[in-house]
Structure 1
Amino acid sequence: MIFSQDSKNPADSTLHAPAERRDLDMRTEQPILDARRVAVRFKVEGGEVEAVKNVSFQLYRGETIAIVGESGSGKSVTARTIMGLLGKRAKVDKGAAIAFNGENVLAFPERRRRALRGNRISMIFQEPMSSLNPVYTIGSQIVEAIRVHQRLSGAQARARALDLLKKVQIPDPEARLDQYPHQLSGGQRQRIMIAMALANDPDILIADEPTTALDVTVQAQILNLIRDLQKSLGMAVILITHDLTVVRQFSDYVYVMAQGEVREHNATEALFADPQHPYTRHLLASEPRGRANPLQDGAAPVLEGRDVRVAFTLKHGGFFRPQFKQLVAVDNLSLTLRRGETLGLVGESGSGKTTFGQALVKLTRADAGEILFDGMPIQDRTREEMRPLRARMQIVFQDPFSSLNPRMSIGQIIEEGLVVNGLGATREERQVRVRAALEAAGMPGHILQRFPHEFSGGQRQRIAIARAIALEPEFILLDEPTSALDLSVQAQIIELLRKLQAERGLSYLFISHDLKVVRALCHRVAVMQHGQIVEEGPVEEILSRPKTAYTERLVRAAFEVAA
């Protein structure tokens, strides 16, 4: 099914987003993927929501197109429509068509559609923890993805899986094959997802925020890896992202989406050099700005860690001849966070940032060291003894989908913490606090009856932030809180966190690999590598005049590449 050049679409009449590409006259071949009039509606309480409205785009073999836009713009729904992975509430318009090699995949029976998925068309999902099965090892999941589509023995598939882990630069790949998803960092889990997506050398790779969980240096390595594989295999790539730096570096053509519609599209350099639509100009102008609020002199410590050590035992080999190796994730670290201060904890994925942060709030057991909260030793407290302090210390996790209960509504998720901690005399009073927290986090207050799966990744992260601030804590551990958010929403969240800090004297331990956000939000920064703090000091001093080669490499990857 090849579409004619004169196909009509309501978008044809728009100035900035016609149905066909602006470089069509330069193309002699047919597109490998040609989507026309794609429209998707979701049934919701009280009616329907149009998530995607008459979207058209073309993809040619061997190139990368980027679909960009803010969270909730319809980027991921468009990708899932191609893959046939929409939920039961979704309804694709009858006039829609998506041609893969000339055939409309929307008309395929489910069995034929399934044969395409993970084989000819593959996808890297945004949230690796919710995409990986927690009860199976990494190796068994990659082997399954290979053997479903290739006639290989178990040993051959395992060898292929090991080779894939090496290609995506997983440290100690032989040991990782026998580990489970929860034993890996967020960035390492995302690399596992990339390995699985590339397992069968697909014709089209859909990368939905593929580097969201990765630090800046590994982000460049992974994107270069995808580009190298693209060149060697002739693979086409659809890159869905909110990172405009990545778009400019790695895409050939850009589609800008907002509120389910394509607002503008053009060749990458042309779009960045001369954006036409006001929304595109808004996106290109969005970047974390400002600096942390001034810190009061002599502020008392709210959280202290002294010589904290955390080690894990890794298992190698088979069942009958196991070998064990100790991994020191946090190597005798000390840290002091003062009241009203934001301390950034940065480093590459696997450096121990999250483990250290979770040890400080007693979510991970420390093997040694002392931890004090508001001057009280807490390292030896039991789970029950920690309960009275939980309302005073809150956490926003990196992966919002895995931290939000899928069986509870948004209202129940946020209200649960209020109920457990005895905040709010009546249900009506708690509902008022829930709505206020949602609105403070940039979400409407009328979504209380909806469920986590009905929101985009960025929207889910804002809901997670609303859950934390609803309890009005004194300290919040922020573990990559803006990694799933587009640039303009990042700026809103930074402003929100600054405002809450100024009004309530909040203290933040901010774990991140995004040094632009760290510069805009933090007073001090500690740089971690291999379980150790290699450099610590005021944020401007560390980012402007790094003393170690490792920190200099992080800063260069974050700022100079973006220039």
Structure 2
Amino acid sequence: MAQLDSIAMAPEERHDLRAKNGRPIIDARHVAVSFKVEGGSVEAVKDVSFQLHRGETIAIVGESGSGKSVTARTVMGLLTKRAAVAGHSRIEYDGKDVLKFSVRQRRALRGNRISMIFQEPMSSLNPIYTIGSQIVEAIRVHQRMSRRDAMRRALELLTQVQIPDPEARLNQYPHQLSGGQRQRVMIAMALANDPDVLIADEPTTALDVTVQAQILNLIRDLQQKLGMAVILITHDLTVVRQFSDYVYVMSQGEVKEHNITATLFANPLHSYTRGLLASEPSGTANPLPTHSPVLLEGQGVRVSFMLKKGGFFKPQLSELVAVDSLSLELRRHETLGIVGESGSGKTTFGQALIRLQKTDGGRILFDGEPIHDMSRDHMRPMRSRMQVVFQDPFSSLNPRMSVGQIIEEGLIVNRIGANRNERLERVRDALVSAGLPANILSRFPHEFSGGQRQRIAIARAIAVEPEFILLDEPTSALDLSVQAQIIELLRKLQDERGLSYLFISHDLKVVRALCHRIVVMQHGRIVEEGPVDQILSNPRTAYTERLVKAAFQVAA
């Protein structure tokens, strides 16, 4: 009976297939993918079928590890050597089975007719090449075009995706851009050759709420102009509701339910879908203890960068002030949120406060001790007391080290644990605390989904038992149901260990659930600060009001 219900909710063909004109541009049938692991194999995708027509957007939603991204990578032919696609699987592009294409045919297809925006832009961009040269390469691989014309096209693309000062960005490197700006570069590269199909794997994960709508509207406008089809892979149900025509809900490698977007949201049939739709960050931060002492203090902190424009022989230098003489106080047990649009200076300010970013001026005190002028050697003993969870977990996890080695490394460096057995016990405890199984010590980062990698990064930070953690978009890669778990975990750890958090985020729903106070940043300056309830319910500036409206009223 359960199997019959499953077939009714997730049949092989779409419910609206007969109403569609023409053949689907992508028709996937019975796709199954397994991965070789120690002692056997794991079925990541089991019997998945979907159809995509020209000019429409289908969404594939589900929790981290549900098989969404593996399904997309199977279409692109970007699976690892440990992956095996079942022989009965078929993925037809324009009537031809791409699974039977030669390596050369798949390469000609990728980035040209079918393009993909990846979840983690920093790991997709080459750190040793400028932004301009990478976009030019994406264009010239598939088009006969001079370098000058390709660079002109690259400038047009950066302008299209609304990167500020696009001409200067062409000569910059990935590390000089914010997370949101790097994601926009990836979108520009994906659209460079006007593809028939765009696969967007969490395309707005790194973007703030106001830019998120702009980028999705841009993709939709280009879709209508070019007749492009879009596969949207996301855990953001608000985005799905606004921008998709048809939805596939995945869990544990299977499609549990699919339907026209409006129908699925109005009448979800599967219990998993109902639970997914009901998931949203909730609750508020636990009350701050009275007379809590200040742990971290910044006084007039300033950070600037020199931007280079023009040619090699006549460069023009201009100063960009990323953090403009800012001050803040963070108390013990407190969670302070720093919010603002991409490029507002949130991450730069946070990293400057823990000496991961060079400052031009100001004072920084940690537990009353000045650290702004400390040497690297003097800072080393302080590092175990302050930890970081970065925005892009893949680039912060060593791909050549196993999960066990990655987490144990911090314990070894800080001389925590009497012996290896004790350290491994701490590693397992940290993994379990972060919502992961303790038996994944021998696996590597690339074997996990984006959300699972973020939890590994959180486990690594927890393992050394710090007093303070800088959380840079820690829930951006996580689906809604796991976000709630991580928020509860962070609250629990804060109560048990007296932790202080500096929480950098563009997700105001998560900020409301976790933070005591908020600092709102724009163009390197603090425009507003105060208690969470005050800022979110009664913003004093038009900028903050726009952020709040985009976060909480976007679904209306």
Q: Indicate which of 218, 238, 242 corresponds to 2:235.
A: 242
1:136 correspondence with 2:129: yes
Question: What CA distance in whole angstroms lies between the structure 2 residues aligned with 1:414 and 1:112?
Answer: 41
State the secondary structure of the residue aligned to 1:370: strand
- Kindly provide the CA deviation profile for residues 102-149 of structure 1, in whole angstroms up to 9, marking residues without a partner as x: 000000111011000000000000000000000000000000000111
Distance 2:203 2:511 in 1: 21
Q: Deviations over 1:161-180 (max 9, x none)?
A: 00000000000000000000
Shift of 1:29: 1.3
Alignment match, 1:96: 89
- SS state at 1:492 partner: helix
Q: Which residue of 2 aligns with 1:183?
A: 176
Secondary structure at the aligned position of 1:282 is classed as helix
Aligned match of 2:470: 477
Tell me the amino acid that sits aligned with residue 132 of structure 2: G
Distance in 1 (alpha carbons) for counterparts of 2:18 and 2:270: 23
Relative to structure 1, is the Cα distance of residues 141 and 81 closer, same or farther in structure 2, using a 3 angstrom cutoff?
Answer: same
Matches within 5 A, 1:356-371: 356-371=349-364
Q: Check whether the contact 1:329–1:351 (CA below 8 A) recurs between aligned residues.
A: yes
Q: Which residue of 2 aligns with 1:329?
A: 322
The answer as to whether partners of 1:347 and 1:529 remain within 8 angstroms in 2 is yes
* 1:7 alignment counterpart: none
Q: Distance in 1 between matches of 2:120 and 2:478?
A: 13
Q: 1:298: which partner in 2?
A: 291
- In structure 2, what residue type is equivalent to 1:189? R
**Contact 1:11–1:19 under 8 Å retained in 2:** no
Contact 2:34-2:84 at 8 Å conserved across structures = yes
SS of residue paired to 1:14: helix
1:443 aligns to 2:426 (yes or no)? no
Deviation at 1:13, TM superposition (A): 6.6
Q: 2:54 aligns with which of 20, 39, 61?
A: 61
> Which amino acid is 2:287 matched to?
P
Task: Output the CA distance in 2 between the equivalents of 1:67 and 1:426.
Answer: 46
| Preserved CA contact (<8 Å) 1:342 1:509 | yes
**Residue 406 of structure 2 corresponds to residue 396 of structure 1:** no
Counterpart CA distance in 2 for 1:118 and 1:30 is 22
Q: 1:493 to 1:457 in 2, by over 3 A?
A: same
Distance 2:6 2:324 in 1: 62
Partner of 1:6: none
- Distance in 1, Cα, partners of 2:19 & 2:307: 54
Matched, 1:45 2:38: yes
Alpha-carbon deviations, 1:239-278, whole Å to 9, x = none?
Answer: 0000000000000000000000000000000000000000
| Correspondence for 1:541 | 534
Letter in 1 for 2:535: I
Give me the whole-angstrom Cα distance separating, in 2, the residues matched to 1:452 and 1:25: 42
* CA apart distance, 1:318: 1.4
1:109 corresponds to 2:102: yes
Report whether the alignment pairs 1:192 with 2:185: yes
Residue 195 of structure 1, CA deviation? 0.2
Question: Structure 1 residues 438, 130: closer, same or farther in 2, change over 3 A?
Answer: same
Mapped to 2, the partners of 1:522 and 1:270 lie a distance apart of: 36
Contact 1:395 1:478 in 2 (8 A): yes
Q: Is the Cα–Cα contact under 8 Å of residues 6 and 256 in structure 2 kept in the other structure?
A: no
Whether the aligned pair in 2 keeps the contact of 1:12 and 1:18 (CA below 8 Å) is no
Q: Give unmatched runs, 5+ long, in structure 2.
A: none
SS for the counterpart of 2:408 is helix
Deviation at 1:15, TM superposition (A): 2.3
Partner of 1:70: 63
In the alignment, what sits opposite 1:531? 524
Q: Give the deviation of 1:27 after TM superposition.
A: 1.5
Give the alignment of 1:299-314 within 5 angstroms.
Answer: 299-314=292-307
CA distance in 2, matches of 1:46, 1:562: 46
- 1:315 maps onto 2:308 in alignment: yes
**Candidates 248, 271, 280, aligned match of 2:273:** 280
Identity rate, percent: 78
Alignment partner of 1:347 is 2:340? yes
> 8 Å contact 2:247–2:261 — kept in the other structure?
yes
For 1:364 and 1:27, the matched residues in 2 are separated by 54
2:5 is aligned with 1:24: no
Residues 6 and 257, structure 2, Cα contact 8 Å, conserved in 1: no
Deviation at 1:536, TM superposition (A): 0.1
Matched, 1:120 2:102: no
- 8 Å Cα contact 2:199-2:230 kept in structure 1: yes
Distance 2:347 2:538 in 1: 25
Aligned counterparts of 1:259 and 1:476: Cα–Cα separation in 2: 32
Matches of 1:27 and 1:310, distance apart in 2:
55
2-structure distance, mates of 1:433, 1:147: 50
Within the candidate set 223, 242, 245, 1:252 is matched to 245
1:11–1:17 CA contact under 8 A, matched in 2? no
Aligned to 1:4: none
Letter in 1 for 2:469: I
In the alignment, the residues of structure 1 paired with residue 17 and residue 206 of structure 2 have an alpha-carbon distance, to the nearest angstrom, of 35
Letter in 2 for 1:335: L
Aligned 1:226-241 pairs, distance under 5 A: 226-241=219-234
Spell out, residue by residue over 1:379-438, the C-alpha distance to the aligned partner (whole angstroms, 9 max, x if none). 000111001111110000000000000000000000000011111001000001000000
Deviations 1:179-204 (A, max 9, x none): 00000000000000000000000000
Aligned residue in 2 for 1:387: 380
TM-score normalised to the size of structure 1? 0.98
Q: Which runs of 5+ in 1 are unaligned?
A: 1-9
1:11 and 1:18 in contact (8 A); partners too: no
1:531-554 deviation line (CA, Å, top 9, x unaligned)? 000000000100000000000000
Query: 2:341 aligns to what SS in structure 1?
Result: coil
| CA distance in structure 2 between the aligned counterparts of 1:476 and 1:203, rounded to whole angstroms | 44
- C-alpha contact (below 8 Å) 2:205/2:477 kept by paired residues: yes
TM-score, reference length from structure 2: 0.99
1:275-311 residue CA offsets vs partner (Å, 9 max, x unmatched): 0000000100000000000001110000000000000
Whole-angstrom distance in 2 between the partners of 1:117 and 1:191:
19
Asked whether the equivalents of residues 212 and 483 of structure 1 are also in contact (C-alpha less than 8 Å), the reply is yes
Q: Distance in 1 between matches of 2:348 and 2:37?
A: 39
Residue 511 (structure 1) aligned with residue 507 (structure 2): no
Residue 204 (structure 1) aligned to one of 197, 203, 213: 197
Give 1:269's match in structure 2, choosing from 262, 280, 299. Answer: 262
Aligned equivalents of 1:94 and 1:218: distance in 2?
42
- Distance (whole Å) between structure 1 residues aligned to residue 500 and residue 370 of structure 2: 18
Measured against aligned partners, the alpha-carbon deviations of 1:472-508 in whole angstroms (never above 9, x if no partner) come to 1100000000000000000000000000001111000
Number of paired residues?
Answer: 554
SS at match of 1:391: helix
Q: Secondary structure at the match of 1:79?
A: helix
- Equivalent position SS for 1:15: helix
Contact 2:75 2:91 in 1 (8 A): yes
Q: Distance in 2 between matches of 1:519 and 1:103?
A: 49
> 8 Å contact 1:313–1:327 — kept in the other structure?
yes
Measure the CA separation in 1 of the matches of 2:241 and 2:545: 23
* Deviation for aligned residue 1:25: 2.3
